[in-house]
Structure 1
Amino acid sequence: MSLLGGLGRSAGLFLGLVCALPVLADDITVATKYGDVTVSDKVERIVTVHEGALDAAFALGFEPIGAISTRGGDGVASYIQETAKNVNIVGTSRETNLEAVIAQRPDIILASYRLPAEQYALLSKIAPTIVPQGKGIRPDGWIREMRVYAKALNREQKAEQIIQAVADRAAQIKTQLETKLPADQRGAALIRWMPQGALVLTTQFFTSGLLAQAGFEVTDSGLIKRGRPHSSPLSLENLSKIDNDWIFMATLDEEGQKALDAAKQSPAFARLDVVKRDHVIPVDGQLWTSASGPIAANAILDDIQNVLDSKVQ
C-alpha cells in the first residue's frame, strides 16, 4: 500500500469519527459535588444509593433497578414499597454493597450529598455517579437534589412542575389550617422515639419544612446543637421540654415502638398538655424521619390533611 493510500484511508476513518460526534453532543454534563460528570441523555438502568434519589427517580417517570434499604428496615420505606416492588436492594444507608451495584450494570448512580469521597471514587468506576452539592440539613434540600437528578436524567421541566405542585398543595393545606386553627394553637414539634428516649428533630429537617409550609409553627425547644439533625435522647423526667400544641411522634422500628408504648404508661407522659388534648399524632418514622423527595412530600401532606380533617373542627 502506498503512503498516500494509507493517509487516505486514515482521513476517511477520521471523517467517520467526526461524523459520529453529534451523537456524543447529546450527552449531559452535570455539576456535582465532585466536579462535572457527563452522562448519556438516554439512561435506562438507574441505581440509587440515597432514599431521596429513589423517590425523585420514580417521580420523574423512571423505574430504578437498585436502591438501598430504609433506616430501620430490610427494604425500601413502606410508603414507596408498592411502587418500588421490583427494585433490588444494593445496601443500606450506612454501607453500599459494591458487588450488588456492579451486578445491576447501571448506566448511572444517584447518590446523596453526604456520600464520602472514598465511596464516590469506587462508585464512579462502576458508572457515572451524581452527588449533589450539599449545604447541610435544609428544609428545601430535597428540591436542590431533585433539580440535580432531573438534570442528569434529562427531565428538568418535569421536575419544576413536580416541585411547584408540592408547593401549591402545601399552600392549600395552609389556607385550611389558618382558617381552622387560631394562631396560638399552631405550635408543633417532630419527635422520633428511640429505645433510649425521645429525640427532637431540627426545624431544618425535610418534614419540619413541610409542616411549616402547611401552616404549623415548628419548634425544637432549643434542644438541638447547631448543625445537628436532632437532640440528645430525653429522659421521661425531661419530657415537659417537648410539650407543645401538637407533637408528631415517629418510630422507626419495633424496638422504638415498644419504648414509646412503655413511655405512654408513665405519669410524666400523661402530664403533658399535648397528651391531654389528644394532639400527639403517631406517624410512620420511615416516611417522616428518613425519606425525602416529592412522593414522600405528598404522602406527608396526606397525613397532615388527615390531621386537619379528623382532629380540628
Structure 2
Amino acid sequence: MAIAMILCLPLASAQARTLETAFGEVTLNGEARRVVTLYEGALDTALAAGVTPVGAVTTRGGDGVARYLDDYLDDIAIVGVVREINIEAVLMQRPDLILATPLISSEQYALLSRIAPTVVPATDGFSPDAWKDEARLFAQALDREEEVEAAIADVEARAAELASALAEHEVDNDVVLVRWMPQGPMVMSTQIFASGLLDAAGLEVNDSGLVREGAGHSDPLSLENLSQVDRDWLFLATLNEEGREALDAARRSPAFDRLNVVQNERVIPVDGQLWSSASGPLAAQAILDQLEAALLP
C-alpha cells in the first residue's frame, strides 16, 4: 500500500495536548499503543517511562540497539540505522506515534508524518543538557511526563551525590573522553551527553582545544600526538570490534605506553555505544554507575 494512502492511526482517546516540535505544533490524544523510535535518546526515554517501542534504529557501530539496553528489551524490530531510516520498515510496524531524531530531514519528516504523528525535538547543536529537554518532549508525546521528570531528577541527584563523594576522596578531576576508531583516536566534545554527566559529577572535561565549535569530536589524532590527551584520567571508548582491534594495536606502541595516564594506570575502557552515542535517563544512570566504579575506592 502506498504511503500516500496511509491514514495516521488514532491514539487512545484521552485529553488532547499540543507539542512544540522542530516542525511546528503536533497535537496528540491519549497514550500511544505502538511507538517507533528513530533516535537513541527517544528509545532510552520511552523505556525509562515504562513504554516498550515496537521499532527502533540501530546504535552507531552496531547492528542492533545499544548493549546497555539489553536488560530492558527482549526484542525489537529494526527500522533503519541512525542516518538512514527505512520508511517501509517503519510503515510495517503500524505506529501510532513516531519519536524522531533532531537530525531528521524535512523530506523524511514529510513522509513519516503521513504514517503517524511524528515528534522531533528542536535541538540546536550540541549541548550537554539537551537530553533533558528532549526527554521532556518525548514524555509529553508518550503521556508519561511524571515518570520521565522523576527519572531526570534521579539522575541529577545521583550526579550531585557522586560529585560530593569524589570531592571527599580528593579524586583528581582532569579527564578526557576519547573514542578510538580504526583510523585513530578522536577526542570527544565537552558539549556531548557523557561530558555533561562527567561535569555534573564534579569532573573537569578537557578536549585540549582539539574539537571545533559545533562538532561532536576532533579529527583523528596520530599516535605521535597522543600527548594531547594525557590527563589525570582517560576514558577510552570503542564502538565495535574494529575499534577494539585498533586500540589493542595502539597499546603496543611506545607512544601510547609513555603517557602518564597509562603509566599511572588511569585509562578506563568504556563502551562507546553508551559513552559516545547514547543519551537519556537510563544511559545517564549507566554512565554514573561506571564512573563510580572506576573512580571511587
TM above 0.5, yes or no, is: yes
Mapped to 2, the partners of 1:46 and 1:209 lie a distance apart of 28
Partner of 2:254: 267
Mapped to 1, the partners of 2:251 and 2:75 lie a distance apart of 38
Query: Contact 2:194/2:276 (CA < 8 Å) preserved in 1?
Result: yes
Q: Which structure 2 residues correspond to residues 89-168 of structure 1 after superposition, within 5 A?
A: 89-168=78-157
The one-letter code matched in structure 2 to 1:115 is I
Distance 1:152 1:278, change over 3 A: same
Shift, 1:81, TM fit: 2.3
Identify the match of residue 159 of structure 2 among 166, 170, 173: 170
Q: Deviations over 1:140-187 (max 9, x none)?
A: 0110100100111112222221111100000111111001125xx210
The one-letter code matched in structure 2 to 1:188 is V
Structure whose residues are more often helix by fraction: 1
The one-letter code matched in structure 2 to 1:71 is R
Partner of 2:287: 300
Mapped to 2, the partners of 1:165 and 1:141 lie a distance apart of 17
1:280 correspondence with 2:267: yes
Partner of 1:82: 71
Mapped to 2, the partners of 1:261 and 1:226 lie a distance apart of 30
Partner of 1:205: 192
Partner of 2:183: 196
The one-letter code matched in structure 2 to 1:189 is V
The one-letter code matched in structure 2 to 1:247 is L
Query: Contact 2:13/2:30 (CA < 8 Å) preserved in 1?
Result: no
Structure 1: segments with no counterpart, 5+ residues: 1-22
1:180 correspondence with 2:152: no
SS of the aligned residue for 1:113 comes to: coil
Query: Contact 2:195/2:205 (CA < 8 Å) preserved in 1?
Result: yes
Identify the match of residue 66 of structure 1 among 27, 42, 55: 55
Mapped to 1, the partners of 2:40 and 2:134 lie a distance apart of 11
Query: Contact 1:33/1:132 (CA < 8 Å) preserved in 2?
Result: yes
Partner of 1:214: 201
Partner of 1:231: 218
The one-letter code matched in structure 1 to 2:184 is G
Mapped to 1, the partners of 2:14 and 2:265 lie a distance apart of 60
1:31 correspondence with 2:20: yes
Shift, 1:25, TM fit: 7.3
Query: Contact 1:189/1:244 (CA < 8 Å) preserved in 2?
Result: yes
Mapped to 2, the partners of 1:102 and 1:233 lie a distance apart of 38
Mapped to 2, the partners of 1:287 and 1:151 lie a distance apart of 25
Query: Identity of counterpart residues, as a percentage?
Result: 54
1:50 correspondence with 2:39: yes
Query: Contact 2:235/2:269 (CA < 8 Å) preserved in 1?
Result: yes
SS of the aligned residue for 1:223 comes to: coil
Query: Is the radius of gyration larger for structure 1 or structure 2?
Result: 1
Displacement over 4 Å in runs of 4+: none
Q: Deviations over 1:98-145 (max 9, x none)?
A: 111001100100011111111111111110000011121111011010
Mapped to 2, the partners of 1:138 and 1:38 lie a distance apart of 27
**TM-score computed with the length of structure 1 as normaliser:** 0.89
Query: Contact 2:34/2:97 (CA < 8 Å) preserved in 1?
Result: yes
The one-letter code matched in structure 2 to 1:229 is G
Mapped to 2, the partners of 1:163 and 1:188 lie a distance apart of 24
Structure 2: segments with no counterpart, 5+ residues: 1-11
Q: How many residues align?
A: 286
Partner of 1:252: 239
CA RMSD of aligned residues (A): 1.2
Mapped to 1, the partners of 2:276 and 2:262 lie a distance apart of 21
Partner of 1:9: none
Mapped to 2, the partners of 1:123 and 1:54 lie a distance apart of 17
Mapped to 2, the partners of 1:25 and 1:132 lie a distance apart of 23
Mapped to 1, the partners of 2:82 and 2:14 lie a distance apart of 35
Shift, 1:40, TM fit: 2.1
Query: Contact 2:163/2:202 (CA < 8 Å) preserved in 1?
Result: yes
**TM-score computed with the length of structure 2 as normaliser:** 0.94
SS of the aligned residue for 2:94 comes to: coil
